[in-house]
Amino acid sequence: MEADTDNFVIDAKLFEPSSDMSSQRERIARVHHSAFYDGWIRLRKNKAAVGGCAVLVIISLLAVFAPVFSQFTYYDTDYTARFMPPSGEHIFGTDLFGRDLWARLWYGTRMSLLIGLSAAFINLFIGVTYGSVSAIAGGNVDNMMQRIIELLVGIPSLIILILMMVVLPPGVWTIIIALSVTGWVNMARLVRAEILRLKMQEFVLAARLLGTPTSKIIIRHLVPNTVSVIVIQTMFSIPAAIFSEAFLSFIGLGIAEPRASLGVLINVGYGSLRTSPHMLIFPSIVIVLIMVCFCILGDGLRDAFDPRMRQ
């Protein structure tokens, strides 16, 4: 039997007007958090990254405060206490000049961290700026900037490091400058590749149509969406810079005695490996912990702050 739709009447009593206010209809129920706060929440759930961060914090605190509160300095010599093994007076023993290895190790760790962090952040600033401008400009500007990068990549970085250390006066900032000459190249290429992929997407085109300046598009839209690449590359560049400094000091082109770094301590300990292995073991453990923890923390930061991995 067919329904009589022509005579169907809708009763107004079946409907009730909504009691919600118009200002509440599009209210977001979830508490608003910034991108960094959301990333921090996800980072705390990564136990490996939190553990690596805790180890780095402990090493950094020891590097800053351990030499200050030690009864010995990194340059005090005592020829009557040469090559002493670890003891209550000298926690990590002494070296060939009777200097306390506890004070020298943490002072050297401080110098290595200073060099690594400074070089990494200089590379971060130059690489992100260079790569962003190259990708956004495009055309002949992009081609010219990429030819400069190819020129720098074609020259072995080790040769540039050694030449810079020979030409410039020795010192901490000379090592930082030498590590920064070509260290930003990989960051620039990665950032350029990510921005080339993002700059034709809808949210960037919408920002352009609304008249947003190019600088704000880079800072507010493009760079936050490349944060995973930036973070992981920075976290890898810090231990790479520390390792490069250790290598330069190991071959005699880095920090000179009596100042200490992890590379200097490993170089001195290598010469006394058979008779006093503690001189090599302790700085090697510290440099391995620093490099491994930075890599683990970098992976955790990438997973936490990558916008594409948010749920």
Taking the CB of residue 292, how many other CB atoms lie within 10 A of it?
A: 13
Instruction: Note the pLDDT of residue 33.
Output: 56
Q: Which two tokens stand for residue 131?
A: 């790569």
Please count the structural domains in the chain: 1
The two structure tokens encoding residue 245: 């400094």
Sign of CA dihedral 64, 69, 70, 75: positive
pLDDT at residue 1 tops 50? no
| Residue range 195-233, pLDDT digits in tens | 888 887 888 888 888 888 877 887 877 877 787 788 878
246 contacts 263 by C-beta, under 8 angstroms: yes
Percent of residues, the chain, with pLDDT higher than 90 = 12
Domain-embedded: residue 79: no
Q: What is the pLDDT of residue 286?
A: 93
Residue 210 lies in a domain: yes
Q: Of the given ranges (64-73, 210-219, 254-263, 300-309), which has the lowest mean pLDDT?
A: 300-309
Mean pLDDT, rounded, of the chain: 82
For residue range 254-279, what is the model confidence (pLDDT) as tens digits? 787 788 888 888 888 888 888 888 88
The pLDDT, as a whole number, for residue 289 is 93
Residue 36's pLDDT is 64
Please choose, from the candidates 221, 267, 250, 239, the residue with its C-alpha nearest in 3D space to the C-alpha of residue 117.
239
Asked whether residue 33 is assigned to any structural domain, the reply reads no
The dihedral through the CA atoms of 159, 186, 247, 108 has a sign that is positive
The band of 306, judged by pLDDT with boundaries at 50, 70 and 90, is low
- Cβ atoms of 59 and 286 within 8 Å: the answer is yes
For the whole model, what pTM was predicted? 0.79
Provide mean pLDDT across the span 160-186. Answer: 83
- Residue-number span of the structural domain to which 126 is assigned: 46-67+95-309
Structural domain contains residue 196: yes
User: Is residue 275 assigned to a domain?
Assistant: yes
> What percentage of the chain reaches a pLDDT higher than 70?
86
- The answer to whether 255 and 247 are in contact (CB under 8 A) is no
DSSP H stretches of helix in the chain: 35-44, 47-69, 101-137, 139-154, 157-167, 172-183, 185-198, 202-209, 214-216, 223-225, 227-250, 262-271, 278-305
Give the other-Cβ count within 10 Å of 198's Cβ: 16
pLDDT digits (tens, 9 = 90+) for 91-142: 888 888 888 899 999 999 999 999 889 998 999 999 988 988 888 888 888 8
Judged against a pLDDT cut of 70, whether residue 186 lies above it is answered with: yes
Q: Is 19 part of any domain?
A: no
Residue 73 located in a structural domain: no
Task: Tell how far CA 129 is from the center of its chain.
Answer: 16
Q: Lowest-pLDDT range, 3-12, 36-45, 238-247, 250-259? A: 3-12
Q: Quick check: bond before 258 cis, omega within 30?
A: yes
**What is the CATH classification number for the domain harbouring 101?**
1.10.3720.10
Helix (H) or strand (E) holding 78: none
Residue 15 falls inside a structural domain: no
Asked if residues 280 and 270 have their Cβ atoms less than 8 Å apart, the reply is yes
